[in-house]
Amino acid sequence: MQLNSARVVLTGASGGLGQTLAQQLVQHGAHVLLAGRDAAKLQALANRLGSASHICVADLTQTQGVADLTQAAQTFKANVLINNAGISAFGLLQDQTWDTVEQVIQTNLMAPLRLTHALLPHLLSQPQASIVNVGSAFGSLPFAGFAAYSSAKAGLRGFSQSLRRELANSQVHVLHVAPRAINTALNSPAVNALNRALGNTSDSPEAVATHLLNALAQNRSELHIGFPERLFAWLNGFAPALIDRGLAGKLATIQQHAQTPQP
In a domain, 9, yes or no: yes
CA distance 100 to 104: 6
The one catalytic residue among 90, 138, 143, 149: 149
pLDDT of the residue at 226: 76
Gap between the Cα atoms of 155 and 134, Å rounded: 12
Q: pLDDT averaged over the chain?
A: 90
Specify whether the CB–CB gap between 35 and 10 falls below 8 A.
yes
Confidence check: pLDDT of 211 > 80:
yes
Confidence (pLDDT) at 221: 93
> What's the start-to-end Cα distance of the chain, in Å?
42
Residue 170 annotated among the catalytic residues of the structure: no
Task: Tell me the pLDDT band of 232, cut-offs 50, 70 and 90.
Answer: low
Most confident of 60-69, 179-188, 193-202: 60-69
Give residue 193's pLDDT band: very low, low, confident or very high (50, 70, 90). confident
Mean pLDDT of 12-36: 97
Residue 34 lies in a domain: yes
| Confidence at residue 72, expressed as pLDDT on a 0 to 100 scale | 98
Instruction: Say what the pTM is.
Output: 0.88
Q: Which of 187, 145, 179, 172 is nearest to 15 (CA)?
A: 187
pLDDT of residue 178: 94
Average pLDDT over residues 21-27: 98
| Predicted local distance difference test score (pLDDT) of residue 240 | 63
Residue 229 pLDDT: 66
For 124-163, what is each residue's pLDDT tens digit?
A: 999 999 999 999 998 988 888 899 999 999 999 999 999 9
Q: Tell me the pLDDT band of 258, cut-offs 50, 70 and 90.
A: confident
pLDDT class of 201 with cuts at 50, 70, 90: confident
Span 217-245, mean pLDDT? Answer: 72
Q: pLDDT per residue over 66-124, tens digit each? A: 999 999 999 999 999 999 999 988 899 999 999 999 999 999 999 999 999 999 999 99
Residue 188 is assigned to a structural domain of this protein: yes
Specify the CATH number for the domain of residue 113.
Answer: 3.40.50.720
Phi, psi for residue 57 in degrees, rounded to 5: -85, 120
184 bridge partner residues: none
Reported as a pLDDT band with limits 50, 70 and 90, residue 238 is low
Domain that holds residue 107: 3-241
What is the DSSP track for the chain?
A: --GGG-EEEETTTTSHHHHHHHHHHHHTT-EEEEEES-HHHHHHHHHHHGGGEEEEE--TTSHHHHHHHHHHHHHHT--EEEE-------S-GGGS-HHHHHHHHIIIIIHHHHHHHHHHHHHHTSSSEEEEEE--GGGTS--TT-HHHHHHHHHHHHHHHHHHHHTTTSSEEEEEEE---BSSTTS-HHHHHHHHHHT---B-HHHHHHHHHHHHHTT-SEEE-STTHHHHHHHHHH-HHHHHHHHHTTHHHHHHHHTSPP-
Residue 181 banded pLDDT, cuts 50, 70, 90? confident
Is 148 inside a domain boundary? yes
Assigned domain for 193 exists: yes
* Residue 261 falls inside a structural domain: no
Backbone angles phi, psi at 166, to 5 degrees: -70, -30
Burial of 74 (0-12, 13-18, 19+ CB in 10 A): middle
Say yes or no to pLDDT of 262 above 90: no
More confident residue, 34 or 143: 34
- Residue 261, pLDDT above cutoff 70: no
Domain total for the chain?
Answer: 1
Task: Name every residue whose Cβ is closer than 8 Å to that of residue 256 and which is 6 or more positions away in sequence.
Answer: none
In a domain, 259, yes or no: no
